[in-house]
Amino acid sequence: MAFSRVSFFMAVVSLIFSIVFPAVQAQTLAPAPAPTSDGTSIDQGIAYVLMLVALVLTYLIHPLDASSSYNFF
Which pLDDT score is estimated for 67? 59
More confident residue, 63 or 8: 8
- CA 70 – CA 62 distance, rounded (Å): 13
Residue 30 domain flag = no
Q: Is residue 29 part of a domain?
A: no
Enter the DSSP assignment of 35. Answer: P
Core vs surface per residue 12-22: b (16+ CB within 10 A) or e: eeeeeeeeeee
Q: Which amino acid is at 51?
A: M
Q: Which residue has the higher pLDDT, 24 or 5?
A: 5
The CA-to-CA distance between both ends of the chain, in Å, stands at 109
pLDDT at 46: 94
pLDDT at 69 over 70: no
User: Residue 12's domain spans which residues?
Assistant: 1-22+41-72
Whether 4 maps to a domain, the answer reads yes
Please tell me the total number of residues recorded for the chain in this structure: 73
3-state helix, strand, coil in the chain (%, to 5): 70, 0, 30
Per-residue pLDDT of 21-62, as tens digits, reads 766 666 777 888 877 777 788 899 999 999 999 999 888 877
Decide: pTM greater than 0.85: no
